[in-house]
Amino acid sequence: MDARRHAPATLRNRDPILAVLRRRLPPRGLVLEVASGSGEHAAHFAPRLAADLVWTPSDADPSALASIDAHAAAASAEAPGGARIAPALLLDAAAQDWPIARAEAIFCANMIHIAPWAAAAGLLAGAGRVLTPGAPLILYGPFQRAGLHTAPSNEAFDESLRLRDSAWGVRDLEEEVLPAAETAGLALDSVEEMPANNLCVVLRRR
């Protein structure tokens, strides 16, 4: 049985995100993906990035790991020389201890708004622990800016998230994310506008 899961949004956002990754990732080292979900991003990105980068996917949901590894196996079978995707790790962003001690980059898409704030704070703190100096944490998803939504669709999305779980919601970049990043030893590098009113936020370890 094919273990691969599919997230329709991945097909729409993967190429714009890939363009950012090509500009922002280092030429070599380990890229940790937090909250890999279906694994489709890993399968698309890894074969198209620098040959000396190893993509290491992870997720807090044990049931997601089989899908991630199945997508990785399919990508490796299709890509010349393989896809350079490590086996998926079980990783809870909010945990104090992560199953990895060092990374040259971290990528996380569409997680911090569909999780309690403890997951976002844990992601930033974990990045501060494991990233090498100057290494990037790249966040993708919707954000509020200085207390305001960037589009009516994002405001409606935020309302729907909070109805599903009061601990969820579109996070404010300036008022929530950046202060927590500062505490974790991360500094803002850039903010790039993306399709569908999303952002790519690049933070770097001091």
113's tokens = 């708004």
Query: For 111-136, what is the mean pLDDT?
Result: 98
Instruction: Note the pTM of the prediction, 2 decimals.
Output: 0.97
Computed over every residue of the chain, the mean pLDDT equals: 97
How far is residue 20's CA from residue 10's CA, in Å, rounded to a whole number? Answer: 15
pLDDT in tens, 160-190: 999 999 999 999 999 999 999 999 999 999 9
Q: Determine the Cα–Cα distance for residues 83 and 72; give it in Å rounded to an integer.
A: 7
The pLDDT of residue 81 is 78
How confident is the model at residue 82, as a pLDDT?
Answer: 82
In the chain, what are the domain boundaries? 8-205
Mean per-residue pLDDT, 121-134: 98
Query: Given pLDDT bands bounded at 50, 70 and 90, which one contains residue 83?
Result: confident
**Partners of 54 in the beta sheet?**
30
* DSSP reduced 3-state for 90: strand
CATH of 8-205, one of 3.20.10.10, 3.40.50.150, 3.50.50.60, 3.40.50.2000: 3.40.50.150
